[in-house]
Amino acid sequence: MNRLRSIGAAVIVTLVSLAATAGAQDADQGSPSACARCGPAPMYPSRFCADGRHQGGRGPCTRLQDGSCGWLHLVCPEDRPPAGGRVECTAAECGAPPAFATWSCPDGNGTGAFATCRRDREGRCGWIHRPCRAPAQQAPRPRPVPRPPPSAAPSPARSCGRLPPTDEMRTWPIVGVCAPGGGPAPPPTRRIRSLGDGTFILAGRTGCFRARYMHCPSK
């Protein structure tokens, strides 16, 4: 009987050890969402960048090289620091780097990645992040939705003669426009100002309007 008890105890210890090892291996697969110890998420949203592939804003709860977990701030590749401000980011501003630079996507199709730490349009330092594509992103692209003829300027539009303060322009309705290089050729526009929140003031044929770049299927 004592021998059976000893064998049973040894089996239990072995199973616990194997479970712990499997858990450690699962945590080491390189997925940035492997952490669950970050606490409440920061109160600002995530967004897709102009290229439709990278993400900006609030990043995932990520395991870091120092062994901790943390919410990352993400920067879009097209972001540029404010004029006259510091360009390079210090190690203190970036914080501990993500533990994994690249990882295999769960479906085996492609990889996700964290790139360099750089400064965004608001002067904050963050990481460039290319997540794995969601199933909806991997589905065949739908046929392009017919767009208004080039003569139809985006609406609503305001006079470009004397633009109000930035805070007031941030209350204007947002018009979605295709990011440069994507979708059908848009009406001629000219970028006047960045509002620092992912939107821009564009000048069109009938005046100025607030716009956000979105990913559009190519022709």
- Of 9-23, 116-130, 198-212, the range with the lowest mean pLDDT is 9-23
C-beta separation of 128 from 56 below 8 A: no
Residues 62, 163: Cα–Cα separation, whole Å: 41
**If you average pLDDT over residues 147-152, what whole number do you get?**
52
pLDDT in tens, 47-85: 889 888 898 988 888 889 998 898 889 999 988 888 887
Q: How is 39-101 classified by DSSP, letter by letter?
A: -SPPSS-EEE-TTSSSEEEEEEEEEBTTS-EEEEEE--TT--PPTTS--SPPHHHH-SPBS-S
Q: What is the mean pLDDT of the chain?
A: 75
- Indicate whether 22 pLDDT > 50: no
pLDDT in tens, 162-176: 888 888 888 888 888
pTM: 0.47
Sheet holding 200-204, edge to edge: 174-178, 207-214, 200-204, 190-194
Residues 3, 7: Cα–Cα separation, whole Å: 6
pLDDT reported for residue 30:
45
Residues 6 or more apart whose CB falls under 8 angstroms from that of 57 comprise 44, 45, 46, 47, 73, 74
What are residue 125's DSSP bridge partners? 119
19 pLDDT band, cuts 50/70/90, is very low
Q: Report the length, in residues, of the chain.
A: 219
Using alpha carbons, select from 68, 66, 62 the residue that is nearest to residue 34.
62
pLDDT reported for residue 91:
92
Q: Specify the 3-state DSSP secondary structure of 209.
A: strand
pLDDT in tens, 90-143: 999 999 999 888 888 877 778 889 989 999 888 889 999 988 876 655 545 556
153 pLDDT band, cuts 50/70/90, is very low
Residues 215, 52: Cα–Cα separation, whole Å: 5
14 pLDDT band, cuts 50/70/90, is very low
> Who has greater pLDDT, 159 or 181?
159
Name the one residue in this structure whose structure tokens are 């970050």. 38
**If you average pLDDT over residues 189-202, what whole number do you get?**
88
